[in-house]
Structure 1
């Protein structure tokens, strides 16, 4: 009897289809999978048979989903729906446990999975690699690797990032540097947080050979959702410089940090920029800037191509002047 019961359960489980989201198109086709996001006129649905498929919103007749989604009909106000139910052509029903609400598809600007600012555990990151080989009057080999990862647990967020860059010209090292940074954020409210930060930079070629920075200060998280994040932070820093000739400087500074990323075109293209602008309270430098900006194009769920521009400036006396701009193209992985 027990064997027969287990057999029936197994057959029933195998014959029961897994719950999936469904999108009906105006041409009569139907897509099943998991709705990831709708933004910029593209609905991204993850399927088992063709991966992530971007669909023009104008071609959608109606749709349904068994997951909780945030539906925004303008740039500021959104309604959290427990599920979406299919309706007549050009409409969808928002089921939220109360009175179902039918809305026009044309009125919807975004559909995203709701994400609380503070989650129990979230871990994400990326590694980007860029290689450049040029054979001409001066043979040049350029290697660049950088990573960034963050983990959130309760009211705490840990962020670590680093970069390594090495360039050869005719077998002579012309660039050789690396940097590492660790930041710890403690959220006071859903948006306000307090940050502590440690940074170390090492350069074996430039006159400014070592930089060490310890900073702390408040920050504000404007948003952090399925389509990206934006935060600003202000820091009071203590910075120590060491030069190749053995000279040393140290000073205190005020700095503004930014970290922005945004997914576009159905979450296939990511625009990102981050950096820090600092003004010393005393010391040799007039101001400093360390910034990057770029684009990532998702080839698969985990692989991407990237284009980046980096700008480093330290403006001050003759011993501390530094100005570098780099452009890189490469590939990477993300999680």
Structure 2
């Protein structure tokens, strides 16, 4: 009995401690087991509109943001007064500075930096590619073919190929353009021509550049064994609010024309190139225009102009189709060959 009395206080003390611990545990907040979704980026416009989503890019004066309600949209940087972009991003400014990984915050149209602030319009690129920092080149291009095969009274086989490739750097770029055609009628070849053009451009400013171009061209059935030229030029980039981009180039070259039958010609020539693309039909269709011309400065009646106009459209992934018209004019061709050649084609190609 005496032992039971001695144990009773200890049992009561243990029970009280257990109740106190249970009470404290009951007051603890419940533990969350699921992961919270990240907060969206926030963009406030000058007109008071607020856009929530994920900012995917800042380039060319526009902010690209992926939204739940409208998909991908673009907003002019000049229209943004506040912006918060989650995560860490590298930034390239208009003055050439590159900032390391940091969040993006904009207040009253000013991009807040660690040591100062700059106007948001001075943010040239978010997360720039290495080539945009002067490290290497960005390779882009397009390869396409056009085939025709007909059987009947006349068997016709036509094969046309074209490759356009460009390496873009921060201060310069390289361009390669190659095309050709082989035609057969009743197993007899009646057309065989090709041309290769190589160019190097060095940027002077955002819109102006100088360059050096060379071209090799052959058309056996037009009596042209080989036409070559080499020379410098001045170029200008034009852009109209993303509706059209035009490259205009004008220069002088030394031209050599070697013919199979006719006498060879050598002369200084004026060379021009027009390369235009447009987005005014939307992202799915891209009209294009390309022209290359050579004008004989010794004999001004002698001019050679190749013009291509068409439109491309996407098929599957990077596979595209194109419908185009090619017009070739050569005022110096031999009498037995027409000076104008027109060709309509449907092309199948791949872009990278």
Say which of 297, 301, 305 aligns to 1:281: 297
The answer to whether structure 1 residue 329 and structure 2 residue 338 are counterparts is no
User: CA shift at 1:172, angstroms?
Assistant: 0.6
Residue 104 of structure 1 aligns with which residue? none
Residue 299 of structure 1 aligns with which residue? 315
The runs of at least 4 consecutive aligned structure 1 residues that moved more than 3 Å come to: 14-22, 32-37, 44-47, 60-65, 78-85, 118-121, 223-228, 316-322
User: CA shift at 1:148, angstroms?
Assistant: 0.5
Please list, as runs of the form range in 1=range in 2, the aligned pairs for 1:46-195 lying within 5 A after superposition: 70-71=75-76, 79=79, 97-99=106-108, 119=132, 120=134, 121-195=137-211
The SS at the match of 1:299 is strand
- Distance, in Å, in 2 between the alignment partners of 1:171 and 1:160 is 32
Q: Between Structure 1 and Structure 2, which shows a larger proportion of strand residues?
A: 1
- Distance, in Å, in 2 between the alignment partners of 1:123 and 1:300 is 21
- Whose radius of gyration is greater, 1 or 2? 2
User: CA shift at 1:279, angstroms?
Assistant: 2.3
User: CA shift at 1:99, angstroms?
Assistant: 2.8
Please list the CA deviations of residues 30-65 of structure 1 after superposition, one character each: whole Å capped at 9, or x if unmatched: xx998799xxxxxx9999xxxxxxxxxxxx966787
How many corresponding residue pairs? 266
- Distance, in Å, in 2 between the alignment partners of 1:81 and 1:332 is 43
Q: Is the 8 A contact 1:211 1:242 kept in 2?
A: yes
- Distance, in Å, in 1 between the alignment partners of 2:81 and 2:229 is 46
Q: Which consecutive unaligned segments of at least 5 residues does structure 1 have?
A: 1-13, 23-31, 38-43, 48-59, 73-77, 86-94, 102-113
Question: Quick one: higher RCO (CA 8 Å, sep 6+), 1 or 2?
Answer: 1
User: CA shift at 1:332, angstroms?
Assistant: 0.5
The SS at the match of 1:213 is strand
Distance 1:46 1:297, change over 3 A: farther
Residue 9 of structure 1 aligns with which residue? none
- Distance, in Å, in 2 between the alignment partners of 1:231 and 1:177 is 26
- Distance, in Å, in 1 between the alignment partners of 2:268 and 2:146 is 34
The SS at the match of 1:205 is helix
Q: Which consecutive unaligned segments of at least 5 residues does structure 2 have?
A: 1-33, 43-52, 59-63, 86-103, 111-123
User: CA shift at 1:266, angstroms?
Assistant: 3.8
Q: Between Structure 1 and Structure 2, which shows a larger proportion of helix residues?
A: 2
The normalised TM-score by structure 2 is: 0.64
The answer to whether structure 1 residue 247 and structure 2 residue 259 are counterparts is no
- Distance, in Å, in 1 between the alignment partners of 2:224 and 2:158 is 21
The normalised TM-score by structure 1 is: 0.67
